[in-house]
């Protein structure tokens, strides 16, 4: 009786090669369908992260102008993902030693470029004397930030 039980039990345990092959095939098909979407998602996530970083830095520049009671200027470097923020503490209209803080979006987010049509200047009351748009681009999309006269930074 125990020999019959062992034979029957051995036949029923485990997976056949055909069953394993079918499961592997299903996983490969699901992976082939999901991979392009994951690549697009990562690219979109990278772009939105860069936009949020620039938005955060522009809001920081605005708050710095209010806190220091001095104009704060944000200058974008053409063709790069870098920009400079400087507080004009002595109000001479020029970036002096100790007034400059440089930022680069490339440090955290690769394959994005930043371009702007203006140099943003935030005043001590939080307003912006220069309004403009900042465009952030990756290989697939372009998103924009705008700064209005009230100094508000908005993602478009």
Closest CA to 136 of 94, 62, 80, 72: 80
pLDDT computed for residue 149 by the predictor = 94
pLDDT recorded at residue 62: 94
pLDDT value, residue 36: 78
* CA quadruple 23, 24, 29, 31: dihedral sign: positive
Question: What is the pLDDT at residue 123?
Answer: 94
Phi, psi of 33 (to 5 degrees): -75, -40
What tokens does 4 get? 């019959």
DSSP string, 35-93: HHHHHHHHHHHHHHHHHHHHHHHHHHHHHHHHHHTS-EEEEEPTTSSEEEEEE-TT-SS
Strands 100-104 and 82-87, sheet pairing: antiparallel
Q: What is the DSSP letter of 118?
A: S
**Cα distances (angstroms) measured from residue 152 to each of 54, 68, 75, 93, 115:** 13, 18, 17, 23, 19
Contact 115, 153 (CB under 8 A): no
- CATH code that applies to domain 15-155: 3.55.40.10
**Predicted confidence pLDDT, tens digits, the chain (156 residues):** 555 655 655 556 677 888 889 999 999 888 888 777 777 778 888 889 989 999 999 999 999 999 989 899 998 877 777 888 888 777 777 676 776 777 777 777 878 888 887 788 999 999 999 888 999 888 889 999 999 999 999 998
CB within 8 A of 73, min separation 6: which ones?
A: 61, 85, 86, 88, 95, 119, 120, 121, 122
pLDDT at residue 156 in the model: 87
């Amino acid at each position: 009786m125990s020999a019959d039980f062992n034979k029957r039990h051995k036949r029923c345990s485990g997976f056949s090669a055909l069953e394993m092959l079918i499961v592997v095939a299903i996983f490969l098909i699901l992976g082939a369908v999901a991979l392009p979407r994951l690549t697009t998602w990562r690219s979109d996530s990278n772009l939105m992260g860069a936009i949020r970083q620039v938005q955060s830095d522009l809001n920081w520049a605005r708050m710095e102008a209010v806190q220091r009671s001095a104009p704060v200027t944000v200058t974008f470097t053409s063709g790069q993902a870098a920009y400079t923020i400087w507080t004009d503490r002595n109000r001479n209209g020029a970036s002096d030693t100790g007034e400059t803080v440089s930022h680069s979006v490339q440090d955290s987010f690769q394959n994005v470029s930043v371009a702007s049509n203006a140099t943003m200047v935030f005043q001590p009351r939080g307003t912006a004397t220069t309004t403009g748009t900042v465009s952030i681009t990756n290989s697939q999309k372009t998103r924009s930030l705008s700064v209005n006269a009230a100094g508000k930074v908005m993602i478009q």
